Amino acid sequence: MNAHAPDDDLVNWLFLDLNSFFASCEQQERPELRGRPIAIVQMLTDSTCAIAASYEAKSFGVKTGTMIWEAKKRCPDLVLVQARHKLYVQYHHRICEAVDTCLPVTKVSSIDEMACRLMGREREVSTAKALAHKVKHVLRQRLGDCMTCSIGLAPSIFLAKVASDMQKPDGLVVITKSALPDILHRLDLTDIYGIGTRMEHRLHQAGIGTVADLLRAPRSQLRQAWGGIYGVLYYELLHGADLQFPSSPHRKSMGHQHVLEPELRTLDGARQFSQHLLAKAAERLRHDNYFCRHLGLSLASAEDWGNFWTESGFHETQDTDFLLARLSQLWKQAPRLKPIKVGIVLLGLVPAAHHQPDLFADNPRRQKLSPLIDQINRRYGRGAISFGNPTPQIQKFTGHAAFQRVPEEFEF
């Protein structure tokens, strides 16, 4: 390592963020979509929202969450492409393999984000930038010209992620301790990872209106604004400390939600789809070796009802049939509304190693039925056997947007 390079001029992490990942996968697979404004959707209808948009569409103001009817007003030539989440997961694994040929992937943050720890001479900015350019070249070479990424180099994963968002698409931004705090002053508060609109409001209440204010604030002020130790952690991260947010060794919840197709926006349609979502979540529960103690049902209405939530508690289980019976009881509490979105969540997760069997449980043979159905579906294809009697439209539904996690092969 260069003896003249002080620690304040070194970087510890390379953070990679794929640009418009879902849309880029589709443009790579389908040459006729390249250079065109496209929006990735769960269903081909104007009543849904974009879950991703190409940069050609983003130039018209179309982005993730934009309703399609509004997107078409902004961009009349917008092309809707139905999501293929299995394809995106396959691309994710190919990208990890490609990056691994340059340097090891240390942490996968999401389906389109990953971080690599830099060691020894790799920490020197010139070497780190050369590695970043090599990663970009290898991605294009192995996956295609549409697969671009923005890379951040910084002392911590946190600042490297912030850096990766500062120049898109195909960007490369370096943040060193010696460049702080000035390099962050041009950002808005919500450009900082972890600061959403609610946190921004709390910061404003604490007298912090800009990123410059945030960086000048003492630890005590940030601790008060965040309401605890996270404020101190943010202070350290913003000033270049190589720390990471704490993570629990065990999951707390597991679930799925879905914006309903127009023909399913009835209580019966939402109820049927909730059964499908619950069956998927219960299969994940067993695959990840967890039991759950609570089941929750959520509904969002297109009318003035707002959101509805109810939940039920029970002795820990991972049995789909039992959970479906509890879901049926929860639906009896649902108000008479027109649902636009339905969700289920399994709460109070218990690792299988800590599971306490119920002395009064049903016949143990029944507990073996759900795992057996999992095995059959994985061997003969999803839907070979299903619980209940789902409609053909629900049966053909293949997956949900994979934003914060990478789904596994059995889920499709």
pLDDT in tens, 39-90: 999 888 888 889 999 999 999 999 998 999 999 999 999 999 999 998 999 9
Residues 112 and 229 both lie in one domain: no
pTM of the entire predicted model? 0.82
The single-letter DSSP state of residue 76 is T
Residues 239 and 272 both lie in one domain: no
State how many domains the chain has. Answer: 3
The CA distance from 170 to 226, in Å, is 33
Q: What is the mean pLDDT of residues 244-272?
A: 85
Domain that holds residue 324: 253-411
Task: Find out whether 24 and 148 touch, Cβ atoms under 8 Å.
Answer: yes
Q: What is the CATH number of the domain that holds 91?
A: 3.30.70.270
- Among 178, 202, 226, identify where a domain stops: 178
- The predicted-structure confidence for 187-222, as pLDDT tens digits, reads as follows 999 999 999 999 999 999 999 999 999 999 999 999
Q: What is the mean pLDDT of residues 302-324?
A: 87
Question: Which of 2-16, 67-81, 284-298 is the least confident region?
Answer: 2-16
Residues 27 and 103 both lie in one domain: yes
Q: Which of 312, 208, 227, 263 is nearest to 43 (CA)?
A: 263
- Among 247, 281, 301, identify where a domain stops: 247
Residue 390 has pLDDT above 70, yes or no: no
The single-letter DSSP state of residue 260 is P
Residue 355, pLDDT score? 80
Residues 330 and 392 both lie in one domain: yes
Residue 394 has pLDDT above 80, yes or no: no
Residues 210 and 80 both lie in one domain: no
Query: Which whole-number Å values give the CA distances from 146 to 42, 137, 234, in the listed order?
Result: 22, 12, 35
- Among 178, 202, 236, identify where a domain stops: 178
Residue 352 has pLDDT above 80, yes or no: yes
Residues 188 and 241 both lie in one domain: yes
Cis peptide before 6 (omega within 30 of 0): no
Residues 315 and 366 both lie in one domain: yes
Q: What is the CATH number of the domain that holds 225?
A: 1.10.150.20
Higher-confidence position of 354 and 292: 292
Owner of token pair 């057996």: 372
